[in-house]
Amino acid sequence: MNTQEMTTRIANGQGFIAALDQSGGSTPKALRGYGVDESEWSGDEEMFAQIHAMRARVITSPCFSSGKVIGAILFEKTMDGEVDGKPTAEALKARGIVPFIKVDEGLADEADGVQMMKPMVKLDALLAKSVAQGMFGTKMRSVIKAANPAGIAAVVAQQFEVGAQIIAAGLMPIIEPEYDITAEDRAAGEALLLAAILKHLDALPEGSQVMLKLSIPATPGLYDPLIKHPKVLRVVALSGGFSTDDACARLSHNPGMIASFSRGLLQDLRKGQSDEEFNATLGKAIDQIASASCSG
Active site residues: 176, 213
Question: How many CB atoms are located within 10 Å of the residue 271 CB?
Answer: 15
Residue spans of alpha helices (H) in the chain: 3-12, 27-34, 43-60, 76-80, 88-94, 123-132, 149-168, 186-203, 224-227, 244-251, 263-266, 275-293
Q: Measure the CA–CA gap between 154 and 289, rounded to whole angstroms.
A: 32
The number of CA neighbours under 13 Å toward the Cβ of 40 is: 13
CA-to-CA separations, 238 to 104, 172, 210, 243, 293, in angstroms, rounded: 16, 18, 16, 11, 12
Q: Measure the CA–CA gap between 143 and 241, rounded to whole angstroms.
A: 13
Under a CB-based contact definition with an 8 Å cutoff, are residues 176 and 117 in contact? no
Question: Vertex 97, ends 27 and 296: CA angle to 5°?
Answer: 100
Task: State the maximum Cα–Cα separation within the chain, in Å, rounded to a whole number.
Answer: 53
